[in-house]
Amino acid sequence: MSIRGIYSTITDVRRRVFTEVARMAYEGGDYSRIEDLPFKIVPAERDDCRGSIFLERAIVGERLRLAMGLSPRPMDQHAALSSGVEESAIPEKYYEPPLINILKFACNACPEKRYIVTNQCQNCLAHPCREVCPKGAVSLDHHGRSVIDQDKCIRCGKCASVCPYQAIILQERPCAKACGMGAIHSDAHGRAEIDYDKCVSCGMCLVNCPFGAISDKSQIFQLIQALNAGEKVIAIVAPAFVGQLGPNMTPDKLKAAMKMLGFRHVAEVAVGADLCTLDEAEDFLEKVPEKQTFMATSCCPSWSVMAKKLFPEQAHCISMTLTPMVLTARLCKRQHPGEKVAFIGPCSAKKLEASRRTIRSDVDFVLTFEEIMGMFEAKGIDFSTITKTHNLREATAAGRGFAVSGGVAAAVKEAISHIDPGREVKTACAQGLEECRKMLLLARAGKYDGYLLEGMACPGGCIAGAGTLLPIEKAAAIVKNYTAQAPEKSATDSKYEIQLPLLLEDDD
């Protein structure tokens, strides 16, 4: 169960951090005043702190650094909070790896996977938990209640399955449970640690840590530097944006609102999703099953990186189609030469994708919805006062549908039905990297020969990315309604179809 969509203390602190970093960037001047921001964000003793206001402020300080694209300070040596800030105040700065960071002194050192007996144990006569344990790990205390010897326990779960009172529960470290790559383990002090060789930057650990001990780096500071310097920046906004900035930010207000932040143009990434759909449809028709047994979609970077890491022998089955973000960025840069592009979306992994050498020339900045909301709050923009509206009509329903799980496969299948009406296309979809892994295992075993496979790292699809602000079910309903409003339904109806060969000609 994710804590997504619940406005908590952690949500509030993250929002304050992004707002203050954005405000500081817009104002310019001496950035050493970052030293004062933890006192502004955590102004006095609060009931919702970790027991120490000094610790809370120290953690906020590290969050501020990450929000400016800087690395956390080392725990074993003194360094000013403002260390490296001036060097970071340039538009051209990309993320210093790693992207996802654990703030060690915010980590609760949660225990790893274990079964424990709760106080709901009724001291029953049968004690089935003890009888079924294959290792004799369950015994009785002096009150006759069951206890589990963690040194003997092999985490098989048999005791929990037979308890008639559900008194035995599985307790897992939330970040590790959310990680579909098994990339999180404990360090020598029991605190969480990320194996970056396994990590694919999906951000699900960030979303699920109830102590707010995990955070990703941001380019909010660098983007505002570019805007302040007079750079012409185009905002390309992911299909999942609807509803994410609150009920007063309706889609027809998007362009006016983004221009109030300093952006020159605004475009829907759903346009790139339409182009991605068309390219993947042609790719599927050309290659499956003659050249490869199945084809997997390419738009989710965490999914595609996971697939290539864990299933290298199937790597050729992952579509080589450029993602909607990159296709939209290329389209914008062809139409507006010399301008920069900022992708605004739901995803941490898009930050990593954009930092790749082959993508840097296409996408200059990546911000999440949560981060862009900090920019609006820093500017004091009230969406309810925006009267200038502009309907977004460039994308089709198929492109907009990329935001939810199953939307990519549905769009490609529908496009194929127009291109080759006699062709039957079977699809399978998985959401969450654990389920994606299972799907690829079945594909490797030949269970999905001839299929189009869609993988989404976030359960629910892009609307559940690490930088989103809404409960998943609510976001899905809003996207579905917005999708239905598109005048054109199929990607084959896209007026940008003719642009596709031009956008792909540089991808050699």
Q: pLDDT tens per residue, the chain (508 residues)?
A: 557 778 888 999 999 999 999 999 999 999 999 999 999 999 877 666 777 899 999 999 999 999 999 999 988 888 899 999 888 888 876 677 899 999 999 999 999 899 999 999 999 999 999 999 999 999 999 888 999 999 999 999 999 999 999 999 999 999 999 999 999 999 999 999 999 999 999 999 999 999 999 999 999 999 999 999 999 999 999 999 999 999 999 999 999 999 999 999 999 999 999 999 999 999 999 999 999 999 999 999 999 999 999 999 999 999 999 999 999 999 999 999 999 999 999 999 999 999 888 888 899 999 999 999 999 999 999 999 999 999 888 899 999 999 999 999 999 999 999 999 999 999 999 999 999 999 999 999 999 999 999 999 999 999 999 999 899 999 999 999 999 999 999 999 998 877 767 655 544 3
Report if residue 341 sits inside a domain: no
71 in Cβ contact with 93 (< 8 Å): no
Number of domains within the chain = 2
**Which of residues 138, 155, 171 is at a domain's end?**
171
Kindly list the distances between the CA atom of residue 104 and the CA atoms of 75, 146, 367, in Å, as whole numbers in the listed order.
8, 34, 25
pLDDT score recorded for residue 507: 43
Instruction: Give the whole-angstrom CA distance, residue 463 versus residue 244.
Output: 9
Pair 101, 119 in one domain: no
Report if residue 441 sits inside a domain: no
Instruction: Give the whole-angstrom CA distance, residue 282 versus residue 110.
Output: 48
Pair 208, 74 in one domain: yes
Pair 100, 21 in one domain: yes
Report if residue 459 sits inside a domain: no
Pair 166, 198 in one domain: no
The contacts of residue 467 (CB under 8 Å, 6+ apart) are 203, 345, 346, 347, 348, 367, 368, 369, 370, 371
Report if residue 33 sits inside a domain: yes
Report if residue 347 sits inside a domain: no
CATH number for the domain spanning 120: value is 3.30.70.20
Backbone phi and psi for residue 384, each to the nearest 5 degrees, phi listed first: -70, -15
Pair 94, 47 in one domain: yes
Pair 55, 167 in one domain: no
Helices (DSSP H) in 111-199: which residue ranges? 128-132, 158-162, 174-178
Rg (CA), the chain: 24
Pair 211, 155 in one domain: no
Kindly list the distances between the CA atom of residue 431 and the CA atoms of 21, 89, 97, 110, 209, in Å, as whole numbers in the listed order.
33, 37, 26, 26, 20
Pair 15, 83 in one domain: yes
Which domain covers residue 65, as residue numbers? 9-105+179-221
Pair 157, 16 in one domain: no
350 in Cβ contact with 239 (< 8 Å): no
> pTM for the whole thing?
0.93
Pair 212, 153 in one domain: no
Pair 162, 17 in one domain: no
Tokens for 476?
A: 């899905």
pLDDT score recorded for residue 90: 84
pLDDT score recorded for residue 88: 85
Pair 97, 209 in one domain: yes
